[in-house]
């Protein structure tokens, strides 16, 4: 009942990973009790479960996820939102207006129009229905300022860091508000464009060097070197 890989080995779709007494984890599949890779990625085994960190994947909606999306269409009773996923998301007018929607009174395009960016939460999603969004919570809604950057969705956990250590350090050191959309879109809002640029540089570095040893130290160093003004870190 062997495994056929070394820890963190780079594997391609179809590579045989393990046989017998193992469980198929993320980005793997089973055929005749053999476990194979589904994607290009790094493979690992955790307590008999064979897992892969995909180096290339797209975002698949999950209820409760915070995402950032672009309004692409104003419809009859809501908006279509591109969330960089195989499925377009829907935001219902009643969710935004916080009351039932009256077509005779409400002109939806005055609230949100195509090209607008929003932070939203996945309210529902299943195989048969496109994801529905909600913005009815603090911190959600239309984005009016800040900068957007895109990363591979599978890298978001690296940007967050262990127990949120990485992201809170960046927030502290750059004085920026950062919203991480789990669909790989990140919103950075700072007091000055320089602050925002620094946060973006740090996040891009994390994406590129996501698993290097001493990454935290290097990010710390990067942030300290470029710090514009030193302030007391905010509580996040």
Give the total residue count for the chain: 236
17 near 7, Cβ under 8 Å? Answer: no
12 is a contact residue toward other proteins (CB under 8 A): yes
Per CB under 8 A, does 79 bind other proteins? no
Q: Which residues between 105 and 144 bind other proteins (CB under 8 A)?
A: 127-128
Beta pairing, strands 78-82 & 41-46: unpaired
Q: Is 58 in the site for other proteins (CB under 8 A)?
A: yes
C-beta closer to other proteins: residue 39 or 191: 39
- Among the listed ranges 12-20, 90-98, 140-148, 181-189, the one in contact with other proteins (CB under 8 A) is 12-20
Q: Of 143 and 149, which CB lies nearer to other proteins in the complex structure? A: 149
* Choices 51-59, 101-109, 113-121, 174-182; region in contact with other proteins by CB under 8 A: 51-59
- Residue choice 2, 20, 75, 86 for contact with other proteins (CB under 8 A): 86
Phi-psi region of 143 (alpha: psi -120 to 50; beta: other; left: phi over 0): beta
- CB 2 within 8 Å of CB 26: no
Instruction: Choose between 73 and 231: whose C-beta lies nearer to other proteins.
Output: 73
Contacts of 120 (CB under 8 A, 6+ apart): 66, 67, 68, 69, 81, 89, 91, 133, 134, 135, 140, 141
**DSSP letters along 128-169, please?**
TEEEEEE--STT-EE--SSEEEE--GGGHHHHH-GGGHHHHH
Angle between helices 193-208 and 165-174 in degrees, nearest 10: 150
Contact status: 2 vs other proteins (CB under 8 A): no
CB atoms < 10 A from the CB of 76, how many?
A: 8
Stretch that binds other proteins, among 109-117, 154-162, 171-179, 197-205 (CB under 8 A): 154-162
Count the site residues for other proteins by CB under 8 A. Answer: 37
Stretch of residues binding other proteins (CB under 8 A), selected from 80-88, 114-122, 143-151, 223-231 = 80-88
Interface residues with other proteins (CB under 8 A)?
Answer: 8, 10, 12-16, 27, 29, 31, 36, 38-40, 42, 54-58, 60, 86-88, 127-128, 158, 161-162, 209-216
């Amino acid at each position: 009942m062997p495994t056929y890989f070394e820890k963190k080995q780079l594997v391609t779709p179809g590579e045989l990973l393990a046989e017998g007494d193992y469980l198929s984890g993320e980005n793997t599949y089973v055929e005749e009790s053999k476990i194979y890779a589904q994607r290009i990625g790094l493979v690992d085994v955790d307590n008999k479960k064979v897992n892969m960190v995909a180096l290339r994947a797209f975002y698949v909606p999950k209820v409760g996820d915070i995402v950032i999306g672009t309004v692409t269409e104003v419809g009859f009773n809501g908006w279509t939102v591109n969330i960089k996923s195989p499925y377009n998301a829907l935001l219902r007018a009643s969710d935004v207006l916080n009351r039932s929607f009256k077509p005779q009174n409400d002109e939806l395009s005055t609230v949100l129009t195509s090209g607008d960016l929003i932070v939203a939460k996945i309210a529902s999603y299943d195989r048969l229905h496109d994801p529905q969004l909600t913005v009815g919570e603090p911190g959600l809604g239309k984005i009016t300022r800040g900068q957007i950057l895109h990363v591979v969705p599978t890298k978001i956990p690296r940007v967050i860091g262990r127990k949120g250590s990485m992201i809170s350090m960046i927030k502290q050191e750059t004085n920026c508000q950062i919203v991480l959309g789990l669909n790989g879109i990140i919103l950075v809002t700072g007091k000055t464009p320089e602050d925002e640029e620094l946060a973006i540089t740090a996040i891009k570095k994390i994406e590129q060097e996501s698993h290097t040893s001493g990454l935290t130290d290097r990010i710390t160093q990067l942030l300290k070197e470029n710090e514009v003004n030193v302030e007391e870190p905010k509580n996040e």
